[in-house]
Amino acid sequence: MVRWMGLAAVFVVLLALVGAAGVVFAWVRLARSLPDLQGWHREAPRSEFVAADARPGYTFADYLKQEDAVFAELDQLVAKQWSPKVEGKFSRYKVGSVCNPESILDHNWNRTWVAEAEHPVGGALLIHGLSDAPYSLRALAQRLHAAGFTVVCLRVPGHGTAPKALADSSWEDWAAATRLAMDDLRRRLPAGKPMIAVGYSNGGALCVNNVCETLLKSGASGSESGSGSGSGSGGGGGGRAKPDALVLVSPMIGITPLAEFTELYPAVSWLTGEKKLSWSGIEPEIDPFKYSSWPVNASLQAFRITREVETQIAQLAAAGKMKDFPPVLVVQSAADATVIAAQMIDVLMDRLPPGRGELILFDINRASWLEGLTDNSFETHIRPRLKRSDLPFVLTLVTNKSQDGFDAIARTLVAGKITERDVGVAWPTGNFSLSHVALPIPPSDPVYGAGGTESPTRLPLGTLALRGERGVLAISSGLMMRMRFNPFYDWTENQIMEWITKNAKK
């Protein structure tokens, strides 16, 4: 019996080893089938900020100075090493290209944008998503500044330069930069003025992490977040300056469980030595403000910060500290291939004290002509979480007014009562849903908007629609299929501003 048990154990181990070897073999084969690596996949500015740079005395001004050095290095790489080797006209790394971010607008929105108000009514820190840049929150940042807010639109380390930089960065680097910016913004504000944080996608996770970090380390009700608490020092501050309200757009709180497999990536990469193994996608870099290529490290860091945030919120809930969490507004598309809306509700919204949370959820287009053409399985997990009598947050669902037309209506549920408001905008023809990347982008956006070839940038990424035989086009079909702008943006932005006015209070 002992001998048979031993043989069975050996067999199980061998079977596991063969299975693991098969997975590694398939992974390497897939990696080797990717297009050739270019300079921006192999090189990145060496001056990039890392968490270890935030020693005592290091300020946000030092961060901006370091960012200057990063982009000076990038300019050299583009002009001397990369641009001469780019084939064709479309590349963000080709000097003079319509895709080059330096020549599209009057400001390179891959960089941090700071706009001080003469007499600030408050402060706003905006943090972009994974693989993109401050440009994704440009419209809302400008609206907030026009409303009298001192605004910091942060470039998170590893972003806005080269995909290789994202392959080398960590979520700890991103969190350290967030602490620096948050402390510095608080220092800029007069006493008694509120500070809000706006986080899109990964930026949402960073905002929530900052709040959790502060509450867990303060041991109190955020008393350390008062005016003047942020001296600008980044060394070990633990995110002392806590925002007074959070606006989260498509927040990365809950991602696919498959992301956990990226934990194997460092070991497999080291064992095989295959450089392409660091990439799950290699695409032409035609987008000026978002990497098209995707490093495996991005998924790994996304998984790690999401897991960290889930743990932190659970700790706050267990300690009875969610009562100290600032008010939260979440703007989310029900159909989202990047984050799991149902998990966001479980992890965050259901744990907020009643009346402290609000969710604006965009439904898919329910027009009758689309019946049978859409896969509605995304509803399976989210519907039961919303159809409850004890819903602790305000819910607004933006959906079709009727199945006979495209006009949208906003139905708001508060304490069991439903009110309705016309949105004043209809679904565009042929549009079946929003997307993870669409929500913060207005139709008037010069790159991702509805202007198409009439856009002043002559870069119609929002309406790109090319037809031909499959396998011929170098860019992925996802770039053309995915909705890039929000047709309901003006309504959405107005809802955000109204919510901030009501909830962002010291």
Distance separating alpha carbons of residues 193 and 234, to the nearest angstrom: 22
Whole-number average pLDDT of the chain: 88
Residue-level pLDDT at 500: 97
How many residues does this entry show for the chain? 506
- How is residue 257 written in tokens? 């469980």
Q: Which of 216-225, 299-308, 358-367, 416-425 has the lowest mean pLDDT?
A: 216-225
Look up residue 58 and give its DSSP letter: -
Higher pLDDT, 289 or 451: 289
**Mean pLDDT to the nearest integer, 473-479:** 74
**Mean pLDDT to the nearest integer, 57-84:** 96
Classify strands 407-414 and 328-333 as parallel, antiparallel or unpaired: unpaired
For 12-32, how does the pLDDT look when each residue is reduced to its tens digit (9 = 90+)?
777 766 665 665 666 666 776
For 364-408, how does the pLDDT look when each residue is reduced to its tens digit (9 = 90+)?
999 988 888 898 888 888 888 898 888 999 999 999 999 888 999
Contacts of residue 162, defined as CB under 8 A and 6 or more positions apart, other chains included, come to 40, 41, 43, 44, 45, 74, 77, 93
Query: For residue 348, is pLDDT > 70?
Result: yes
**Mean pLDDT to the nearest integer, 263-267:** 68
Classify strands 149-154 and 113-115 as parallel, antiparallel or unpaired: antiparallel
- Tell me the range of 95-109, 141-155, 372-386, 450-464 where mean pLDDT is highest: 141-155
At CA 449, angle to CA 332 and CA 375, rounded to 5? 45
At CA 96, angle to CA 92 and CA 99, rounded to 5? 30
Q: Which CATH number fits domain 36-326: 1.10.10.10, 3.40.50.1820, 3.30.1490.20, 3.30.420.10?
A: 3.40.50.1820
Q: Which of 208, 207, 298 is nearest to 259 (CA)?
A: 298
Residue-level pLDDT at 61: 98
- How is residue 411 written in tokens? 């139905």
At CA 339, angle to CA 342 and CA 292, rounded to 5? 170
Q: How confident is the model at residue 7 (pLDDT cuts 50, 70, 90)?
A: confident
